[in-house]
Homo-oligomer: A and B are copies of this chain.
Amino acid sequence: MMKLYGFFRSGTSHRLRIALALKGLPFENIPVDLRKDEHLGDTFRQINPQALVPALVDDSLVLTQSPALLEWLEETHPTPALLPADPTSRARVRALAAIVGCDIHPVNNRRILNRLRSAFGADDAAVNAWCGQWIADGFDAYVALLADAPANSLYSWGNQPTLADVYLIPQIESARRFAVDLNRWPRLLDIERTCMALPAFSSAAPAKQPDAG
């Protein structure tokens, strides 16, 4: 069985929990408490010298970086597919994923916000304003790109979940934590409702994890 080293509130760990569940792959969930700097300790560094979650361990293979992990899962466990079949649609779904994975998430993550506080004296209000800006810009772009999706799509792209949803749902969760008013993007809330009706998404939620608290 694969082992997923992650943290309940880490958006990138959350992506992996969703994707593994969608593909029906059982995995052992091993919490690494970022609040206690467990990722920086020797125990975890023996797994991943880069001291980053998530890390996925499959026998002796240790893989890192969630975008690479998700593509690896798609290549090694292709059914059910999380990418459409034709290259143009695949590019659209990957573009949606990249809006979250490159334009939103990296600028709002823990190390960046810690640095805003330490280097520039940012308080909670300033941190929320910072995160709110990039989330809003990104969600606007995400919704704009949905104009190219198949008509009447239930999910971000068509009527099956794709990598786009795998990235979107954790980002929506994170947006709530930063007090972003999501009513500005009703389409995203519709997609969220559709996703959360699936056990793969609902069971992957941060609040459902053993290390939540």
Chain A residues proximal to chain B, CB less than 8 Å? 49-50, 52, 61, 63-69, 71-72, 75-76, 87-88, 90-95, 97-99, 101-103, 105-107, 112, 115-116, 119-122, 126, 129-130, 133, 141, 144-145
Contact = CB atoms under 8 A, between A and B. Distances in A.
Given A49-B144, A68-B97, A102-B105, 13 more contacts: A52-B141, A63-B88, A63-B95, A66-B98, A67-B67, A67-B94, A68-B94, A68-B98, A72-B94, A115-B130, A116-B120, A119-B130, A120-B126
A88 B97 CA distance: 22
A57 to B, nearest CB: 13
A119 B129 contact: yes
B91 A141 contact: no
Contacts of A66: 98
A136 to B, nearest CB: 13
B91 A63 contact: yes
Contacts of A67: 67, 94, 97-98, 101-102
13 contacts: A52-B141, A64-B145, A68-B91, A68-B95, A68-B97, A71-B90, A72-B91, A106-B106, A106-B107, A115-B130, A119-B126, A119-B129, A120-B121
Contacts of A64: 95, 145
